[in-house]
């Protein structure tokens, strides 16, 4: 069960001032009745992280187990998400923890993606009938983020850390895209409100979480269409590593929610045409034809998101694994029905050196492809240069979890990082 931090081979900085080196770990610890708590406790203690980003943390566990156990050495914040109607289990959410001897808290915030999205999307888009399928799902979701502006005690350097968890449902990658853009906007707004214009680009940022989005899909499935021989990069992943996703991406709302509206409009028009044709064939007076050039609400080209691109609000991010090793791990979760990489640690570009990465608990191709700053995904979602198929890890090498060894169905992702440059 022991996992080690393995050197990336990247040289430490030659800074003459005191170096700032820290360990960061992100982990979806699986909300349940906590039969696995002793194993999870031992696992977290073994990582000895300076900053921990946790997801699926039940409110009672945060209050009664996690916080008391961490209290001698760590401070933390918790962002719950309200349980959906009919779910009577305990609330769960995301938490963020930092070592008190290493960092001082300057300020913190917690936000819900739907609240930020209400300012991210123009009113003309939010109110348009064709955008309502997207808005209905987006606005009832409770996912969000917990963020803290920390000051490194020894050096005085400031760091923004945020823990997050995006919507799980693979039917709605467009909702996840808006959530990811809202995550970046929420962090940027918090930094610039607290520190002034330009802070989003100047302050070192760490974002850890379960993004429920894959770096690559190699074959069509019920949720994605992938051309033969190609790899589809999720819009969330492309947004976070390139800074932008346009309306041609297959996960963009214009291709998903609005496309469903368009298909419904086409079906309605076809039904009307068939009805008129039947009426003419029956000798009845034909009704008036639709005016040439008129488009019904929801017809193709009517989607208000057709020309809208999403961006990271000034944040420039690298995936930790890609920066350090040139690719993502094959998987960060494996259950009886699904496996893939969903968990990431994102670093603000130019601020961090990755000195070591937390070994994955299985034989992995990632160790064979070390190299800094791999090729970024191309536009439109089709490249997948960073991705490794989860099938490259056998069931024997890493069986579905949770199991007798691992308390969660996810594995932790972590790194030892050095903060570069001068004062932020």
pLDDT in the model for residue 424: 58
pLDDT in the model for residue 271: 47
pLDDT tens digits, residue range 100-153? 999 999 999 999 999 999 899 999 999 998 899 999 999 999 999 999 999 999
- Taking residues 49-72, what's their average pLDDT? 95
Strands (E), 267-373: 310-311, 317-319, 333-334, 339-340, 343-348, 352-358
- Taking residues 275-304, what's their average pLDDT? 49
354, pLDDT greater than 70: yes
User: To 5 degrees, how large is the angle CA 56–CA 111–CA 232?
Assistant: 65
Output the CA–CA distances (angstroms, integers) from residue 234 to 33, 152, 217, 415, in the order listed: 32, 34, 8, 24
pLDDT in the model for residue 365: 46
- Taking residues 17-40, what's their average pLDDT? 84
- List 333's β-bridge partners, or say none: 340, 410
Mean pLDDT of the chain: 86
C-alpha span between 124 and 89 (Å, rounded): 38
pLDDT in the model for residue 346: 98
- Taking residues 57-83, what's their average pLDDT? 93
pLDDT in the model for residue 257: 85
293, pLDDT greater than 50: no
Residue 34 three-state SS: coil
Positive or negative CA dihedral for 393, 387, 250, 121? Answer: positive
User: To 5 degrees, how large is the angle CA 91–CA 405–CA 28?
Assistant: 30
Domain boundaries, the chain: 5-245+311-419
pLDDT in the model for residue 50: 98
- Taking residues 341-351, what's their average pLDDT? 98
Superfamily of domain 5-245+311-419: Endonuclease/exonuclease/phosphatase (3.60.10.10)
Q: Which among 5-14, 123-132, 231-240, 299-308 has the top mean pLDDT?
A: 231-240
pTM above 0.75, yes or no: yes
Biggest CA-to-CA distance, the chain: 92
């Amino acid at each position: 069960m022991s996992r080690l931090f393995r050197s990336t081979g990247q040289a430490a900085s030659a800074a003459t001032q005191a170096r700032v080196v820290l360990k960061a770990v992100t982990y979806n610890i699986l909300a349940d009745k906590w039969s696995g708590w002793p194993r999870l406790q031992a696992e977290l203690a073994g990582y000895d992280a300076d900053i921990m980003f946790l997801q699926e943390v039940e409110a009672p566990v945060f209050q009664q187990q996690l916080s008391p156990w961490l209290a001698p050495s760590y401070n933390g914040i918790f962002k719950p998400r309200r349980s959906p109607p009919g779910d009577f289990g305990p609330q769960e959410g995301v938490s963020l923890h930092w070592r008190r001897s290493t960092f001082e808290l300057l300020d913190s915030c917690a936000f819900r993606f739907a609240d930020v999205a209400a300012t991210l999307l123009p009113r003309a888009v939010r109110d348009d009938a064709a955008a309502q399928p997207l808005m209905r799902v987006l606005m009832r979701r409770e996912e969000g983020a917990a963020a803290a502006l920390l000051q490194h005690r020894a050096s005085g350097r400031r760091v923004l850390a945020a823990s997050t968890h995006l919507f799980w449902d693979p039917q709605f990658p467009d909702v996840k895209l808006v959530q990811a853009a809202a995550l970046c906007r929420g962090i940027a707004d918090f930094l610039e409100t607290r520190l002034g214009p330009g802070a989003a680009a100047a302050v070192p940022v760490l974002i850890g979480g379960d993004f429920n989005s894959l770096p690559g899909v190699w074959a069509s499935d019920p949720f994605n269409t992938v051309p033969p021989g190609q790899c589809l990069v999720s819009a969330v992943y492309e947004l976070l590593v390139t800074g932008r996703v346009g309306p041609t991406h297959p996960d963009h709302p214009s291709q998903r929610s609005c496309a469903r509206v368009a298909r419904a409009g086409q079906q309605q028009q076809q039904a009307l045409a068939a009805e008129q044709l039947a009426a003419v064939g029956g000798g009845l007076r034909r009704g008036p034809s639709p005016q040439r050039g008129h488009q019904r609400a929801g017809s193709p080209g009517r989607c208000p998101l057709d020309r809208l691109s999403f961006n990271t609000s000034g944040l420039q991010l690298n995936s930790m694994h890609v920066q350090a090793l040139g690719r993502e791990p094959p998987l960060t979760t494996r259950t009886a029905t699904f496996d893939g990489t969903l968990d990431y640690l994102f670093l603000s570009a130019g601020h961090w050196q990755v000195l070591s990465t937390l070994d994955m608990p299985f034989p992995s191709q990632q160790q064979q492809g070390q190299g800094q700053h791999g090729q970024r995904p191309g536009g439109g979602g089709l490249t997948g240069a960073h991705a490794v198929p989860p099938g490259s890890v056998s069931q024997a090498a890493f069986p579905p979890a949770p199991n007798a060894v691992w308390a969660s169905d996810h594995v932790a992702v972590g790194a030892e990082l050095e903060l570069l440059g001068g004062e932020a």
